[in-house]
Amino acid sequence: MEQHLPLDLETYFAAVDDPRVERTKWHKLLDIIIIAICGMICGAEGWVEIEEFGKEKEAWLKTILELPNGIPSHDTFGRVFARLDPVKFEECFWKSGAKPEWDDSRSDRHRWQNPTSFS
pLDDT at 13: 83
**Helix, strand, or coil (residue 97):** coil
33 within domain boundaries: yes
58 within domain boundaries: yes
Please indicate whether residue 51 or residue 96 has the higher confidence score (pLDDT).
51
Number of domains in the chain: 1
* Tens-place pLDDT, residues 13-26: 888 889 889 988 99
* Tens-place pLDDT, residues 59-72: 999 998 999 999 99
93 within domain boundaries: yes
117 within domain boundaries: no
64 within domain boundaries: yes
Q: How many alpha carbons fall within 13 Å on the CB side of residue 101?
A: 0
103 within domain boundaries: no
Cβ partners under 8 Å of residue 82, min gap 6: 115, 116
* Tens-place pLDDT, residues 83-119: 998 888 888 888 766 555 555 555 444 444 444 444 4
90 within domain boundaries: yes
84 within domain boundaries: yes
Integer Rg of the chain from CA: 15
Cβ partners under 8 Å of residue 94, min gap 6: none
Distances (CA, A) of 50 to 4, 24, 89: 33, 20, 18
Does residue 23 contact residue 41 with C-beta atoms inside 8 Å?
A: no
Query: Residue 78 sits in which domain range?
Result: 28-97
* Tens-place pLDDT, residues 72-85: 999 999 999 999 98
